[in-house]
Amino acid sequence: MAQPWLIWDGTCGICNATAQWVRRKDTERRIVICSYQNCTHPVWSADLIQRAQGEVLWIDEEGQVSGGGRAVLKMLRVLGYRGLGWIAWPPFIWVWELGYRLVARNRNVISRRLGLGSSCGLDGRYPEVDSQP
């Protein structure tokens, strides 16, 4: 069975902390989590590498790609947070995407202020992250 993929920036502290959180929540290993720097998904392309430098990506089981706030919502749905589905509707999605963009644009500063650094050693502590099927 195909799995969805969560693709994040391995040099971003917030992204790294989020990937760790997803791994802890995804006890059934339904989601393949990998940094874009190590991604080998079949639909992976130069365009997706460019996108992944600025936003988290979600590739669903059919190979459809979502980015940014929508990617986060899809990931949360798989993790069981179905009650957040209302956020996907206008005007809520606009606010959600704006919030995502603000955090993404300032992620290096936010990471430093939260003490997350640029990379938190995810690969060493969770070796199954970045190992792909």
pTM passes above 0.85 = no
- When pLDDT is cut at 50, 70 and 90, the band that residue 18 belongs to is very high
Give the strand order in the sheet containing 32-35: 32-35, 5-8, 57-59, 65-67
Structural contact between residues 73 and 83, judged by C-beta atoms closer than 8 angstroms? no
Rounded to whole angstroms, the Cα distance separating 56 from 70 reads 9
Whether the bond into 90 is cis, omega within 30 of 0: no
Structural contact between residues 108 and 12, judged by C-beta atoms closer than 8 angstroms? yes
Helix (H, G, I), strand (E, B) or coil at 131: coil
Summarised one tens digit per residue, pLDDT across range 101-131 is 999 999 888 888 888 865 444 443 334 454 5
